[in-house]
Amino acid sequence: MKVLEDRIRQEGLVLPGNVLKVNQFLNHQIDPDLMLDIGKEFVTLFGSQKITKILTVESSGIAPAIMTGLLLHVPVLFARKQKSSTMPGQLYSAQVYSYTKKTENTIAVESKFLLVDDHVLIVDDFLANGEAVNGLLEICRQAEAEVVGVGIAIEKSFQAGAKRITDQGVHLESLAKIASFADDQVHFVGEEV
């Protein structure tokens, strides 16, 4: 997706540890026009299939997810990372290991919001090792909901996540695919070097 790649080139900052900082438009300040463009792209890629719900995980997945849900007129459900006193009901949950923070977190949704007849499009901002998406897939399995696919804004293709998802037979689409951060520059998959 050219507009997203251009923004990453213009405003992305490569940090030590193969981390891309995009606080200008995604992870801190959010550009709603860009988020809407991302939502439109997910609708182009997945919209021919039946989708009844968008599923993401707080917090940075919510912006692209809500635009996708807006365009499809379906609810957007975000898994929570912290136990909430307003979530006393029955939960579907999964363990998500953060390689960047070296911590294990539980993500959870209330079971009443994910039903056996749901057709779920999973959306997230980043795909690195695939821990978050894997947890969301596990939650969908617990609900026996059908997963239509996974839409990612920025995939770090040199990490394990993409293979981990497609190996499960899940349809994955990533709008910007990063091949490497060699010389502290962002190199996209398929781009001439």
Residues 125-164 that bind ligand G4P (CB under 6 A): 125-132, 156, 161
Query: Could you tell which of Na ion, ligand G4P, none binds residue 98, using a CB distance below 5 to 8 A set by kind?
Result: ligand G4P
Residues 27-66 that bind ligand G4P (CB under 6 A): 27, 59-61
Q: Hey, how many other C-beta atoms are within 10 angstroms of the C-beta on 31?
A: 16
Q: Write the interaction track for ligand G4P spanning residues 64-93; mark x where CB under 6 A is met and - where it is not.
A: ------------------------------
Nearest to 187 by CA among 12, 45, 3: 12
Measured from the CB of residue 57, what is the shortest distance to Na ion in angstroms?
6
Q: Which of 99, 115, 141, 191 binds ligand G4P (CB under 6 A)?
A: 99
Measured from the CB of residue 22, what is the shortest distance to Na ion in angstroms?
9
Helices (H), the chain: 2-11, 32-46, 62-72, 131-143, 161-166
CB of 82 closer than 8 Å to CB of 59? no
Say how far apart CA 107 and CA 96 lie, in whole Å. 7
Tokens of 34: 């860009």
Query: Could you tell which of Na ion, ligand G4P, none binds residue 79, using a CB distance below 5 to 8 A set by kind?
Result: none
CB of 165 closer than 8 Å to CB of 133? yes
Whichever of 122 and 143 has its CB closer to Na ion, that residue is 122
Measured from the CB of residue 139, what is the shortest distance to ligand G4P in angstroms?
14
Query: Could you tell which of Na ion, ligand G4P, none binds residue 99, using a CB distance below 5 to 8 A set by kind?
Result: ligand G4P
Query: Binding site annotation covers 27?
Result: yes
- Residue 20 as a binder of ligand G4P (CB under 6 A): the answer is yes
- Residue 107 as a binder of ligand G4P (CB under 6 A): the answer is no
Checking phi first, is residue 40 left (phi over 0); if not, alpha (psi -120 to 50) or beta? alpha
Say how far apart CA 42 and CA 20 lie, in whole Å. 22
Count Cα neighbours of 114 within 13 Å in the Cβ-side half-sphere: 31
By the criterion CB under 5 A, which residues form the site for Na ion? 60-61, 124-125
Binding site residues, as ranges? 20, 27, 128-132, 156
